[in-house]
Amino acid sequence: MTATTVQDNRISLRARLTTWWVILRIAMEERFVYRGDFALGTLMRFLPIITQIFLWTAIFQASGRPEIAGYTRNTVIAYYMLTMISRAFSSMPGLCGGIALQVRNGEIKKFLIQPVDMLGFLLLGRVAHKAAYYTIAVVPFAFVFFLCRGFFPGWPEAPVFIAFCLSLFMGFLLGFFIEASLGLVAFWFLEVSSLVFIYNLLSFFLSGHMFPLDLLPVWAHDIVSVLPFQYLAYTPAAIFLGKIQGPELWTSLAIEACWLLVFVVLARIMFQRGIHRYSGFGG
């Protein structure tokens, strides 16, 4: 490789990084326009916590037991609050339908004629959305968690907290590439709304957002444990609360990373094969 080639590669890499930075900066500026909506929406999302407190208080009083499947009333409520954070990272509202709409309307042609990768562009848009959301929502989050601090057993140790943050990060990427893969099905079937409905239904129940997966029967828990949904809500919350510890903790993170790799590769393959069969109609 000659010195000229190396220099050209460096210039090309610098140009690409500049392009992606500009895309990310513009996307963040667009999101910050709605900072009031982010703050109010975040505060409203915490209102169901009141319902959860009354619900689980009634459940534990009716059972007459201090613990259910290793969870006390306070732990269940803390778990539910943590899954709200997990789902805020892993949920991608509108991503799947947006990709399908671009395929159906022909808008996806812009990614085929411009030197911009569609999946990378959409991922940066979601990064900007989450960054803007949490920048604005950190105050309502801190306020509500401060009021509900009595439900938590305390802060986890540093390695556990790092594992919690890593699980949230991979959950964000996993949620993105799962929904992106579903959206790319539009290259073969233009209407994917039914598929999105099924996915959202399964994700709501099997991710652990509705209740801790430990409450499932053994046979059901064994089935759910081999699916990727648990990493969207249950796993980060369980790590924070110490429900997943020791070697099991790092094994869980390794499996999550494997699922992430599977869906990254799947999305890439679907996109490459999809554009080969795509016919550009529409505006």
Which pair of structure tokens corresponds to residue 271? 């996109």
pTM value?
0.82
Which pair of structure tokens corresponds to residue 167? 């699980």
DSSP label at residue 190? S
pLDDT digits (tens, 9 = 90+) for 271-282: 988 888 776 554
pLDDT digits (tens, 9 = 90+) for 29-42: 666 566 666 666 66
Domain boundaries, the chain: 3-277
How much is the pLDDT for 31?
60
Q: Compute the chain's Rg from CA coordinates.
A: 21
DSSP H helical ranges for the chain: 3-32, 35-45, 48-63, 73-90, 95-105, 109-113, 118-147, 158-184, 193-206, 218-224, 234-240, 246-277
Query: Is residue 63 a contact partner of residue 71, using CB atoms and an 8 Å limit?
Result: no
pLDDT digits (tens, 9 = 90+) for 44-85: 666 677 777 788 888 888 887 888 878 888 898 889 889 988
How much is the pLDDT for 6?
44
How much is the pLDDT for 99?
87
